């Protein structure tokens, strides 16, 4: 980080070394190596096929849930990964995530580093589910069932909109 330090000041190293103070991320490097070793035992084409099958099933199941709006490309799109983003009418994404957590279903809620996209879609936040090699078709079905149950729990009386993000703060 530094080239020289004395009582009168310090002389900083050149970029990028001047930003590398402290202990290197040893645990993270070991974890990354373990993850690479783990993934190397699988056929990449088979992993991708599994992920696409899960994503297609999730699109199919979630599109049947009343009041859900799926965001992003259809699962057949060549750039579609194992992520489905959505909003549920009458349910704030954080409330939805909390209820799904009680069902043992892990999802993410928030801006997902895409605030301009949320603004374009006219939504305060969204929810997303991600799929990988360890997920199963049964978990996709459970996701859809849990979202539907949460939607009914959080549902608003007819004609009464859900509070906006600003109203909830």
| 3 catalytic per annotation | no
CA 129-106-169 angle, to 5 degrees, is: 90
- For the chain, the distance separating the N- and C-terminal CA atoms, rounded to the nearest angstrom, is 42
Which is catalytic among the residues 21, 26, 27, 113? 113
The conformational region for residue 157 under phi > 0 = left, psi -120 to 50 = alpha, else beta, is beta
Paired strand residues for 108: 128
| Nearest residue to 109 (alpha-carbon basis) of 90, 85, 131, 132 | 85
- Residue 168 contacts residue 122 (beta carbons within 8 Å): no
> 159: which residues sit within 8 A by CB, 6+ positions away?
none
Catalytic residues: 113
């Amino acid at each position: 980080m530094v080239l020289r330090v004395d009582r009168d000041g310090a002389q900083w190293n050149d970029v990028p070394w001047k930003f590398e103070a402290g202990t290197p991320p040893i645990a993270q490097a070991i974890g990354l190596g373990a993850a690479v070793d783990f993934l190397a035992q699988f056929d990449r084409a088979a992993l991708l096929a599994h992920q696409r099958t899960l994503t297609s099933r999730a699109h199919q199941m979630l599109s049947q849930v009343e009041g859900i709006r799926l965001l992003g490309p259809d699962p057949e799109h060549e750039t579609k990964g194992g992520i489905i983003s959505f909003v549920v009418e009458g349910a704030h994404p954080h409330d939805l995530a909390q209820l799904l957590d009680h069902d043992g279903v892990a999802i993410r809620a928030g801006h997902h580093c895409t605030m301009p996209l949320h603004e374009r879609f006219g939504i305060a936040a969204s929810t997303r589910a991600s799929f990988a090699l360890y997920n199963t078709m049964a978990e996709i079905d459970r996701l859809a069932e849990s979202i539907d149950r949460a939607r009914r729990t959080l549902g608003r009386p007819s004609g009464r909109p859900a509070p906006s993000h600003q109203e909830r703060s």
